[in-house]
Amino acid sequence: MSKRRRIYEGKAKILYEGPEPGTLIQFFKDDATAFNAKKHEIIDGKGVLNNRISEHIFTQLNKIGIPTHFIKRLNMREQLIKEVEIIPLEVVVRNVAAGSMSERLGIPEGEVLPRSIIEFYYKKDELNDPIISEEHITAFGWASPHEIDDIMSLAVRINDFLSGLFLGIGIQLIDFKIEFGRLIEGDLMRIVLADEISPDSCRLWDAKTNEKMDKDRFRRDLGGMVEAYREVATRLGIMNENEPQRGKGPVLVKSDKSDK
Ligand code: TMP
Ligand code: ASP
């Protein structure tokens, strides 16, 4: 395990070479960062939860015919994925104003947008991932017009699916960020969903109380980040009761005298 080659290390994940050519292992770290890593903390248990939540979502997306890099979850922190060439774009889909859009355009957080809006950011940490237009993407050759069409139609389908999935468990999908890659299959190259979808990359508000159940709990120092992620996992029906609870909250210790 320690011998395998590390291909790439990001802020929240590490990619290792996979068991076969064309595969990689995606490892979910407990690191939480915000504001381009100016803020950084280790949040015990976050990686395990994101691995599970992202596995669940990618599996469902694969089932409805959205191509993704996901093959299978390997263990608590790792998943097997197809190796793709990452397109250097962060694609943000917004249903409700929040975060940088609210700041940039002066739209109050929580205001439902007239329609879903797709934004592109150039994935470049040194530049703080600046917002860009399709013009920049095609002029600089980051993706072709046809690839942008594919990305946008996949983004709309993913948004529709995720909005319904979350609404069904009492959560409003405010916005989310996704990344895409090029997968080479023989002579063909197609665009597939890559990276992860988790409370790190989405804004999720409780549909009744508007309570934040995502990384804004960390960005805005609200506390209770792991508890919120665990609640998302529980509502998605993917928490295994036998798993150790690694959060800071009280732990229920069952005493069963017959064991002794
Ligand atoms: P923003 O409002 O800060 O632009 O964020 C929009 C969405 O994208 C939100 O769900 C959080 C997510 N996001 C990331 O996943 N990674 C990032 O680097 C940023 C800036 C946002
Ligand atoms: N920008 C990411 C976020 O706030 C993380 C980071 O920049 O360190 O979600």
CATH number, domain of 182, equals 3.30.470.20
Q: Which long-range contacts (CB under 8 A, 24 or more apart) does 65-73 make?
A: 66/154, 66/157, 66/158, 66/161, 66/193, 67/183, 67/190, 67/191, 67/192, 67/193, 68/192, 68/193, 68/194, 69/181, 69/183, 69/192, 69/193, 69/194, 69/195, 71/23
Inter-residue contact 34 to 215 (CB < 8 Å) = yes
Ligand 1 surroundings by CB, under 6 angstroms: 92, 98-101, 129, 175-177, 201-203
pLDDT of residue 260: 37
pLDDT at 236 over 60: yes
**pTM for this model (two decimals):** 0.92
Ligand 1 atom with the smallest distance to the CA of 36 is 18
* Residue 128 CB less than 6 A away from ligand 2: no
Confidence band, pLDDT 50/70/90 cuts, at residue 3: confident
Give Dmax (Cα) for the chain: 71
How many whole angstroms from its chain centre is CA 243? Answer: 22
pLDDT at 92 over 70: yes
Q: Report which residue type is found at 63.
A: K
* Residue 136 CB less than 6 A away from ligand 2: no
- Number of domains observed in the structure of the chain: 1
**C-alpha angle 129-158-220 in degrees, rounded to nearest 5:** 45
Inter-residue contact 191 to 147 (CB < 8 Å) = yes
Distance 176 CA to ligand 1 centre (A): 7
Inter-residue contact 214 to 199 (CB < 8 Å) = yes
pLDDT at 1 over 70: no
Residue 218 CA to residue 27 CA, distance in Å, equals 21
Of 33, 46, 176, best ligand 2 pocket probe by most atoms within 8 Å of the beta carbon: 33
Handedness of CA 7, 10, 14, 15 (dihedral sign): negative
Burial 106-144 (b: 16+ CB within 10 A, else e): eeebeeeeeeeeebbbbbeeeeebeebeeeebeeeebbe
Range(s) of the domain holding residue 140 = 1-260
Within 8 A by CB and 6+ apart from 19, the residues are 25, 80
pLDDT of residue 119: 99
Residue 126 CA to residue 120 CA, distance in Å, equals 17
pLDDT at 152 over 80: yes
Residue 115 CA to residue 95 CA, distance in Å, equals 7
Of 175, 197, 214, 219, best ligand 1 pocket probe by most atoms within 8 Å of the beta carbon: 175
Other C-beta atoms lying within 10 Å of the C-beta of residue 154: 20
pLDDT at 238 over 60: yes
Kindly state the average pLDDT of the residues 156-181.
98
* Residue 36 CB less than 6 A away from ligand 2: yes
Report the chain's mean pLDDT, rounded to a whole number.
Answer: 93
pLDDT at 44 over 60: yes
Inter-CA distances, 8 with 5, 64, 260, Å: 9, 30, 48
pLDDT of residue 9: 97
